[in-house]
Amino acid sequence: MKLSTRQDVEAPISFVFGRLCDFDSWERAALRRGADVQRTDGLTAPEPGMGWQVRIDYRGKLRSGEVRLAVLEAPQKLLFTGAGGSFEATLEIELLELGPRRTRVAVISEARPRSLSARVLLQSVKLAKAKLVQRYEHQVARLAADIEERFRRA
């Protein structure tokens, strides 16, 4: 199942890319939401190969997975790959400079089942895809607004 959206951000591409590569703040945000996040690499700067082990309690069951930064092409692209349980997923973030202070952020997520039960679950999620797309677009819009606000304060 593939979801995609794009948002224009009133900030330079270098600032937007810098915010997206602030992995320490992403880790803290996940911890605040109840996830257990552990780095699995020894890298000190953002670069391909960074990895995280993530555990969350979702609907009363402990779920775990691993996320890796597969591609980092500054300042245009980030690609994350993940696997856990019965699913594999990718998250691609592409940036396009529209002007000196304007950037288009395109976010593409794809989940692929690894088992028959996961395939059935994904089919049931597709029935509610309209609502899922709406929530997805809302989250990306919130991210864009947060980046704009941080740029205005900087």
- Position 68 scores a pLDDT of 98
**Distance between CA 114 and CA 119 in Å, rounded?**
7
Tokens of 64: 């775990």
Q: Closest by alpha carbon to 47, among 15, 82, 79, 91?
A: 79
Do residues 9 and 94 touch, judged by C-beta distance below 8 A? no
Do residues 122 and 1 touch, judged by C-beta distance below 8 A? yes
Report domain 2-153's class. alpha beta
- Position 78 scores a pLDDT of 99
Instruction: For the chain, 154 residues long, give each residue's pLDDT as a single digit of tens.
Output: 999 999 999 999 999 999 999 999 999 999 999 999 999 999 989 999 999 999 999 778 899 999 999 999 999 999 999 999 899 999 999 999 999 999 999 999 999 999 999 999 899 999 999 999 999 999 999 999 999 999 999 8
Domain ranges of the chain: 2-153
Q: Closest by alpha carbon to 9, among 138, 139, 103?
A: 103
| pTM of this structure | 0.94
